[in-house]
Amino acid sequence: MAHNTMLLLLAICGLISTVGLTLSPADLLRPTAASWGTRLLLRHAETEPAAVDFGGTTRYPPLAVLRPASAGDVATLVRSAARLSSRPVPVSARGHGHSINGQASAPGGVVVQMNSFVGPLRRRMAAPVYSASVGGYLVDVWGGELWADVLNWTLAHGGLAPRSWTDYLHLSVGGTLSHAGISGQAFHHGPQISNVHELDVVTGKGELVTCSEEQNSELFHAVLGGLGQFGIITRARIVLEPAPQMVRWIRVLYSNFTSFTRDQEHLISLHGRLRFDYIEGFVIVDEGLINNWRSSFFSPGNPVTIGSIGGAGRVLYCLELTKNYGRHTTAEEVDEEIEMLLQQLDFIPASEFITDLPYVDFLDRVHKAELKLRAKGLWEVPHPWLNLFVPATRIADLDRGVFRGILGNKTGGPILIYPMNKHRWDERTSVVVPDEDIFYLVAFLRSAVPVLGDTTKSLQYLNRQNQQILEFCDSTGIKVKQYLPSYNGRAEWERHFGPERWERFLRRKAEFDPSCILGTGQGIFRPVSSPFSSLTPS
């Protein structure tokens, strides 16, 4: 794309503002609003929930919320919003509202509430079908469908399941595909965006387009990991596999970080049958329990602490592994394979903990913990999360400077750390990862739950600590990339993407959303508040 065209795009997107907008939602949507009836929500009480998200640190009220009954509704809305050429109005898709810095918001615009689809179930998910060209089963699902419901549907229709997951299943399909979708299976199957065969997308021009590797491939790869900038996913064709019945779930502990990372990187290099199906790790400091809100691995009546295994006063690292079985593998065969794998690892001998549970229960483990936290009023609190992709060659520096330095012995929540293989990621998508064959996710999943007399659990403290972590990485030359990124201003976004990928990002934006009306809550082409400013929780 010509340099002048890119400059024009930036000028248009930078100058568009909803400040001073005098149109009412009814005026904006008058050509089509009558046909939507009660699916278009205009009253403050109806739109207010869409102003906040799981992060709990931002509030961006929309003008209206649309509960679509079809992809055609979404396309009609976007065309109406884009038609106001003098002042196009923002439109953003929202699934389960699990964004953390207002990324799914539409300040002064219209939020499309994708998980409020009002059509019948058969229009949201079709029965899985076998594809000879793919060599497996596929399922078509509505973009706002929750992964938990996709799992239940495919299990009930052939005992099948998607093969790549997130740790939390109550996220929308379109939402995770707009970022990447990662969990402990990503080292082998790749992220969720590497396991989708076809999409229906409403572009920023209001065009409903079917795209795949072979058809409209530029849009297909742009939307995957595209942060909602190029289109709204209304249908996704997901790759499936036969679901296992049971999971052997293992946790082992390390006191030596080098051994911990060396073993993780060894395990993700294994191929064939003799390997684990899921590999994640997390950091434990002196104050923490080995158990945490992400699971119910240990009995609440018999919690396991660091001190109970002689780890008091140290940082420990937990390696979490699973082996699936029950369809073509017996428990005895799994025992033998796990023993062979564990013999290759250098963990603390007395720290091996093993349990068995149904496959579905393992996948849904975080939701069960969510229900307990909701009952205590500890779920809907601010979540100043920071998720980083870290090059494997610098992960030890992060341990020294952050886990053993900046954090002290206060974490504020789980800290995940696990490696992935870059060759499982498609560089044609919009996701940005470090330029190394192996990189780690390091996720600081903290909750701001103020405690009288303890400022380390406040939102302000955790935000400031997040900033310190980023500044440490910058000052020491650790070239991290944010996952679920949130930056301040165009210069930071350019740096995130790098020159070539930024130019491609701009070219795709000009092609698929020339009015810059999509994904404005992300703050790439329209300014939003800093995620590290001291904001009052909603």
- Active-site residues: which are they? 98, 167, 280
Contact indicator for 419, 267 with CB cutoff of 8 Å: no
Q: Please, is 271 exposed, middle or buried when counting C-beta atoms within 10 Å of its C-beta (0-12, 13-18, 19+)?
A: exposed
Q: What are the C-alpha distances in Å from 6 to residues 11, 214, 506, 512?
A: 9, 27, 7, 14
Nearest-CA neighbor of 512 among 297, 209, 102? 209
User: From CA 112, how far away is CA 65, in angstroms rounded?
Assistant: 6
Q: What are the C-alpha distances in Å from 264 to residues 257, 373, 424?
A: 11, 30, 16
Phi-psi region of 84 (alpha: psi -120 to 50; beta: other; left: phi over 0): beta
Contact indicator for 240, 126 with CB cutoff of 8 Å: no
Q: Give the Cβ contact number of residue 505 at 10 Å.
A: 23
User: From CA 30, how far away is CA 82, in angstroms rounded?
Assistant: 14
User: From CA 438, how far away is CA 389, in angstroms rounded?
Assistant: 10
Alpha helices in 129-172 (DSSP H): 147-156
Q: What are the C-alpha distances in Å from 179 to residues 36, 122, 189, 221, 537?
A: 30, 27, 16, 12, 24
Structure tokens at 65: 């919320």
Q: Give the Cβ contact number of residue 131 at 10 Å.
A: 14
The radius of gyration of the chain from alpha carbons, rounded to an integer in Å, stands at 23
Secondary structure letter of residue 351 according to DSSP: G
Structure tokens at 283: 């950091």
> Which distant-in-sequence residues (6+ apart) come within 8 Å of 16 by Cβ?
87, 88, 515, 516, 526
Letter for the amino acid at 96? H
Contact indicator for 462, 448 with CB cutoff of 8 Å: yes
**Which stretch of DSSP H or E encloses residue 468?**
helix 459-475
Q: What is the 3-state secondary structure (H, E, C) of 184-204?
A: CCHHHHCCHHHCEEEEEEEEC
Q: Give the Cβ contact number of residue 485 at 10 Å.
A: 23
